[in-house]
Structure 1
Amino acid sequence: MPEGDTVWRTAQRLNQAFAGESLTRADLRWPGVSTVDLAGDTTIEVVSRGKHLLHRLDSDYTIHSHLRMEGQWRITDAAAARPDAQTRAFLSTVRWAGLGQRLGMLDVVRTDAESTVVGHLGPDVLGPDWDAAQAAANLAAAGTTIGAALLDQSNLAGVGTLYAAESLFAERLNPWTPTGELTDTQLASLVDRVHRLLDVGRRSVVQSTTGSTRRGETHWVHARSGLPCRRCGDTVRVAMIGPPTRQRTMFYCPTCQGGLGPTDDGRPQRPLGRR
């Protein structure tokens, strides 16, 4: 699933293409909004809120979208734009077209009612109103494991499995540690780490937490199960974390991060993609 830095860059590209321009076409291929006519409206701005995109119009309506696992917004020359079976939204100006491909969510709401789609989110890690203290307080009160708490967008918005795993590794924290067992200093340091990694990530098309952009060297533990830890040489592992209906993958090093997770059976793990 695209993380907050990817969504932030998507919003920036959409804003560059659409801000101040009138929509010549707005084809929303989604139940409940397929008959909404936004052609002729002018884009005020496109912004991100965590992993959500808000395309604000001068008609006081907002097109809200979420990429989920495989979605993307593709910008192309309007004259050459060709929607296909995977297109869920097709927005066009005289010059540019935006194709929302395989979107996971698409709504049209009144701009003054955006809280109905993003009001549940915690502080946006990359937002102008980022509040590190509130994010740390939310994590402390989560009443779950720190790995699951980081992935809960109501605590802080924009963190996915990549930045959760990388931040916890960098802070030498076991993902399955109950949030109540962490000190205020540990939580503040973790929140600061998350913010710094995402802030670096939004400035580059290559998501690197190690400082290297070379293929295979961009991450410490994420997607590296079955491979040696770059810090200690032990084998990086992957296990599930979170409530039963919302489990996510968590990559970690048991040596650097305090032992096997309770959902990890300890069996040998091969590198991803290898039989």
Structure 2
Amino acid sequence: MPEGDTVHRLARRLGVLTGTTVRGSDFRIPRHATADLSGAAVLGTTARGKHLLTRFDHAGQALTLHTHLRMDGEWTVLAAGRSLPRRLQADARVVLTTTGPTAAALRMPVVELLPTDAEESVVGHLGPDLLDPGRSADDLVEDAVGRLAAQPDRPLVTALLDQRTVAGLGNVWVNELCFLRGHLPRTPVGEVDAEPLVRLAIRAMRFAIAPGGPGRVTTGDTRPGRRYWVYGRTHQPCLRCGTALLFSEQGSEDPEGRHTWWCPRCQT
């Protein structure tokens, strides 16, 4: 599943639609099959955690297109005048043709068109988005740490993946943050100093979305297979100490069946 930094970069990419006017819209889902955004001005796209909110002014009516990629969803942007290739037509759930580029949502599992003043109905449950440009790092840290502390017995990995606690962290970031702070993933939250962990998450994720930067990398090494300390490196030697990395499923508390990696020597 794409993580918060990926979704924020995607929102930036969809920014090329901002200021254009919709020439035609095609919603290929039953719920919105008759919706027509023709003539709407595209006001912009913003990310909230792993959610995307694309806003429109449609004849004075403020509307938002809410999409969530989950595992397979994708937005693609085509240059002005170009059509979606035939091989992708069956995957399209939404096609927006504008006076500039065309954007298409492919295999998108969540597509909702709603009044902009109702956005909180789809994202109001989220915890603080660590990439929120409208909030200071100190404010985000205080909010996230408070939410983590409210359930001290939860395993750290489970709490960090809960989007109601912290929005945008996914399995890559959570595994890497636990390694970088030296915590075993299933350590109870109450036994962890959460503030430096959250501050590190903010710095690392903001670095990952920096324009022109290397993207998501936690080791400082962008060579293939060396971008991450532990994530996806089952039984491989720890890049810090050489110990074979361990691996497990996260258990019944994670309905998405995600996996956890850690170093038994560097994390205690």
Fold agreement, TM-score > 0.5:
yes
Q: In the alignment, which residue of structure 2 is the partner of 1:63?
A: 65
Report the Cα distance in structure 2 between the residues aligned to 1:26 and 1:235, rounded to whole angstroms.
52
Does the 8 Å CA contact 2:238/2:263 hold for their aligned counterparts? Answer: yes
Report the Cα distance in structure 1 between the residues aligned to 2:147 and 2:25, rounded to whole angstroms.
38
Cα deviation 1:188-233 (Å, max 9, x = unaligned):
0110111111111112464211112111111101111121001111
Pick from 202, 226, 230: which aligns with 1:217? 226
Q: Quick one: structure 1 residues 213 and 244, their matched pair in 2 at CA, closer, same or farther if it must change by over 3 Å?
A: closer
Pick from 91, 95, 98: which aligns with 1:93? 98
Report the Cα distance in structure 1 between the residues aligned to 2:49 and 2:103, rounded to whole angstroms.
20
Cα deviation for residue 88 of structure 1 reads: 1.2
Equivalences for 1:95-114 in 2 at 5 Å? 95-114=100-119
Does the 8 Å CA contact 1:235/1:253 hold for their aligned counterparts? Answer: yes
Pick from 188, 198, 202: which aligns with 1:178? 188
Q: In the alignment, which residue of structure 2 is the partner of 1:162?
A: 172
Q: In the alignment, which residue of structure 2 is the partner of 1:12?
A: 12
Report the Cα distance in structure 1 between the residues aligned to 2:154 and 2:3, rounded to whole angstroms.
22
Cα deviation for residue 30 of structure 1 reads: 2.1
Q: How many residues align?
A: 254
Q: In the alignment, which residue of structure 1 is the partner of 2:163?
A: 153
Equivalences for 1:77-88 in 2 at 5 Å? 77-82=79-84, 84-88=89-93
Q: In the alignment, which residue of structure 2 is the partner of 1:269?
A: none
Does the 8 Å CA contact 1:53/1:64 hold for their aligned counterparts? Answer: yes
| AA aligned opposite 1:202 | I
Cα deviation for residue 79 of structure 1 reads: 2.0
Equivalences for 1:1-275 in 2 at 5 Å? 1-15=1-15, 17-58=16-57, 59-82=61-84, 84-127=89-132, 128-129=134-135, 131-142=140-151, 143-182=153-192, 186-203=193-210, 204=213, 206-241=215-250, 243=253, 245-258=255-268
| AA aligned opposite 1:97 | T
Q: Quick one: structure 1 residues 244 and 133, their matched pair in 2 at CA, closer, same or farther if it must change by over 3 Å?
A: closer
Report the Cα distance in structure 1 between the residues aligned to 2:83 and 2:245, rounded to whole angstroms.
43
* Larger deviation, residues 222-231 vs 243-252: 243-252
Partner secondary structure for residue 117 of structure 1: helix
* Larger deviation, residues 26-35 vs 192-201: 26-35
Partner secondary structure for residue 45 of structure 1: strand
5+ residue gaps, structure 1, are: 259-275
Percent identity reads 38
Cα deviation 1:233-256 (Å, max 9, x = unaligned):
111122122505344211211221
Partner secondary structure for residue 95 of structure 2: strand
Instruction: Tell me the TM-score normalized by structure 2.
Output: 0.90
| AA aligned opposite 1:20 | G
* Larger deviation, residues 193-202 vs 150-159: 193-202
5+ residue gaps, structure 2, are: none
| AA aligned opposite 1:73 | W
Partner secondary structure for residue 94 of structure 2: strand
Does the 8 Å CA contact 1:123/1:129 hold for their aligned counterparts? Answer: no
Report the Cα distance in structure 1 between the residues aligned to 2:19 and 2:128, rounded to whole angstroms.
28
Cα deviation for residue 152 of structure 1 reads: 0.3
Cα deviation 1:6-27 (Å, max 9, x = unaligned):
1001001111x11111111211
Cα deviation for residue 84 of structure 1 reads: 1.0
Report the Cα distance in structure 1 between the residues aligned to 2:52 and 2:82, rounded to whole angstroms.
24
Instruction: Tell me the TM-score normalized by structure 1.
Output: 0.88
Cα deviation 1:115-135 (Å, max 9, x = unaligned):
010000000110122511110
Cα deviation 1:80-122 (Å, max 9, x = unaligned):
2225111111112122011111212110111001001000000
